[in-house]
Amino acid sequence: MATSVAVRPKMLLTGFEPFGQCDVNTSWEIVKSIPELPGMLLSKLLLPVAFNASVDILVRKIDELQPDFVVSLGQASSRDTFSLERVAVNIADAKHPDNAGFCPKNLVISSEGERQYISTLPIVDIFHSLQQHDIPVSVSDSAGVYVCNHLMYCILHHISVNGLPVKAGFIHVPGIVKLSPGNATLNMSIMQNALILTLEVLRNGFVN
Ligand code: PCA
């Protein structure tokens, strides 16, 4: 009798370096804190807050690792939920230069790319799972027009034009001021738990 060996999905998690006025970026703090989890293979990657370098580094990692899922996190200081981004738009527009000094103004990201790409993560399933665990979660229809939107757009474009069997998407998390230790409904351990539950939804829905 043939025995079947469960294939563990490869998950690539990314977070960003600090930028602007903040000296920590909660996205990387959360990614960094995730322990090994049963039934999946986790890799973590820290990205610079730079339009071009972040994409180059992540594309190289995707091509090398060939993950099943890419879950990228970024900080949105004013948000107060774990925000599952639904859509990335074909525009880069910065009010402040990125950490490499680049400050695009109303630029089209890709002249041959789609106007927008939709997350290929099961964000509605993730939303329901997190809601059942009383985690402040939302589905967001704008990842902005800065480095995070650019990364999400470029990664979904790369996957689409190369026909890669990879699901990818983006999540914005609150900044450190919102995630203060005294905040019972919004803190680092709740965001860490939100990411673990997200990975479990991906693992449970994984068919090789
Ligand atoms: N947040 C920024 C870029 C890096 C990050 O963590 C954004 O929302 O675009």
Predicted local confidence at residue 196, as pLDDT: 98
Residue 131: both structure tokens together: 């809601």
How many domains does the chain fold into?
1
How close is the Cα of 194 to the center of ligand 1, in Å? Answer: 19
* Residue 153 counted as domain residue: yes
The residue with tokens 């939100």 is 194
Predicted local confidence at residue 174, as pLDDT: 96
CA distance 59 to 204: 26
* Residue 93 counted as domain residue: yes
Residue 170: name the closest of 95, 89, 111, 83 by CA. Answer: 83
* Residue 2 counted as domain residue: no
Q: How confident is the model at residue 183 (pLDDT cuts 50, 70, 90)?
A: confident
* Residue 163 counted as domain residue: yes
Is 154 a residue of the active site? no
Which range of residues forms the domain containing residue 140? 10-203
How close is the Cα of 9 to the center of ligand 1, in Å? Answer: 27
How close is the Cα of 33 to the center of ligand 1, in Å? Answer: 19
pLDDT above 80 (res 1): no
pLDDT by residue (tens digit) across 16-64? 999 998 999 999 999 999 999 999 999 999 999 999 999 999 999 999 9
Work out whether strand 91-92 and strand 107-108 pair parallel, antiparallel, or are unpaired.
Answer: antiparallel
Atom in ligand 1 nearest the alpha carbon of residue 148: 9
Atom in ligand 1 nearest the alpha carbon of residue 15: 6
Residue nearest to atom 8 of ligand 1 (CA): 148
* Residue 65 counted as domain residue: yes
Atom in ligand 1 nearest the alpha carbon of residue 98: 3
* Residue 1 counted as domain residue: no
Predicted local confidence at residue 185, as pLDDT: 84
Task: Check which CATH number belongs to the domain holding 66 and give it.
Answer: 3.40.630.20
CB under 6 Å to ligand 1: residues?
Answer: 16, 19, 25, 27, 49, 74-76, 144, 146-148
Predicted local confidence at residue 119, as pLDDT: 98
pLDDT by residue (tens digit) across 104-149? 999 999 999 999 999 999 999 999 999 999 999 999 999 999 999 9
* Residue 5 counted as domain residue: no
Atom in ligand 1 nearest the alpha carbon of residue 73: 6
Catalytic residue among 22, 103, 148, 154: 148
Q: Among 49-63, 73-87, 168-182, whose mean pLDDT is lowest?
A: 168-182
Q: How confident is the model at residue 179 (pLDDT cuts 50, 70, 90)?
A: confident
Give 11-68 as a DSSP string. Answer: EEEEEE---TT-SS-HHHHHHHHPPP-TT-EEEEEEE-S-HHHHHHHHHHHHHHH--S
How close is the Cα of 74 to the center of ligand 1, in Å? Answer: 5
Predicted local confidence at residue 3, as pLDDT: 63
* Residue 90 counted as domain residue: yes
CA dihedral 92, 123, 81, 140 (to 10 degrees): 40
CA distance 123 to 106: 28
Predicted local confidence at residue 129, as pLDDT: 98
Phi then psi for residue 183, to 5 deg, are -90, 110
66 φ/ψ sector (left φ>0, alpha ψ -120 to 50, else beta): left
